[in-house]
């Protein structure tokens, strides 16, 4: 139900953005004598960033509705407008749509590449108080492992991926977070692909596919 609501919201947003980009009123907001109308590119950049960040905060599958719905609708709209402007030899509009397409593709690529860092940072900014309370309510493990909670679980076709929120009062994971290299680190039962520092003493730790934090019993 939640995923359906998110998909519907993205679809409506993409249609709204595409409609506003094609609206003549949007172009009137910029200088008439300017070589390039920068307003559509700026509007698409802000809209794409807002949609992607909103999806990232609430869903572990943010790239799917973005790539399936928002990006293709907005991209095709801008590309068609680019072709129309080129055939009519309206070079100012042509340059404007070309700039918009480049901005959309470049920004989308940057957002998708940075999703692994962006998502935990946004979630931590919004709900860190609740997460901290849940982890600190636990007793310290007697086996030397760090206190933690399952922070996110995603997967498809039987291949599950888990991310854990880890409390590290001694900052033993600080060097691992700086290096961003995979490894087996103190207080964590499995070898992990990376460690992300959220703030002092708090870390986001993704595990490899189908590995879980269960006293190391499910680690390779």
Read off the pLDDT of residues 24-48 as tens digits, 9 standing for 90 and up: 444 444 444 556 678 888 888 888 8
- Structural domain spans, the chain: 2-113, 141-206
Tokens of 153: 């679980």
- Render the burial of 196-216: b for 16+ CB within 10 Å, e for the rest: bbbeeebbbbbbeeebbbeee
Q: How far, in Å, CA of 178 to CA of 163, rounded?
A: 18
Q: What is the pTM of this model?
A: 0.76
Residue-wise pLDDT tens digits, 110-158: 999 988 888 889 999 999 999 999 999 998 888 889 999 999 888 776 6
């Amino acid at each position: 139900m939640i995923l359906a609501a998110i998909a519907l919201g993205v679809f409506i947003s993409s249609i709204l953005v595409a409609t506003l980009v094609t609206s003549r009123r949007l172009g009137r907001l910029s200088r008439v004598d300017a070589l390039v109308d920068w307003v559509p590119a700026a509007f698409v950049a802000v809209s794409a960033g807002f949609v992607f960040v909103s999806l990232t905060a609430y869903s572990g599958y943010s790239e799917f509705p973005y790539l399936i719905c928002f990006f293709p609708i907005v991209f095709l709209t801008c590309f068609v407008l680019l072709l129309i402007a080129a055939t009519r030899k309206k070079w100012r509009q042509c340059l404007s749509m070309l700039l918009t397409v480049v901005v959309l593709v470049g920004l989308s690529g940057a957002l998708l590449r940075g999703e692994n860092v962006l998502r935990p940072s946004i979630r931590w900014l919004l709900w860190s108080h609740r997460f901290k309370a849940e982890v600190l309510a636990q007793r310290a493990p007697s086996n030397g492992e760090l206190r933690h909670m399952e922070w996110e679980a995603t997967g498809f076709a039987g291949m599950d991926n888990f991310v854990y929120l880890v409390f590290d009062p001694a900052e033993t994971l600080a060097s691992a977070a700086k290096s961003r290299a995979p490894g087996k680190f103190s207080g964590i039962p499995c070898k992990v692909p990376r460690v992300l520092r959220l703030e002092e003493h708090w870390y986001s730790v993704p595990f490899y596919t189908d590995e879980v934090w269960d006293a190391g019993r499910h680690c390779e």
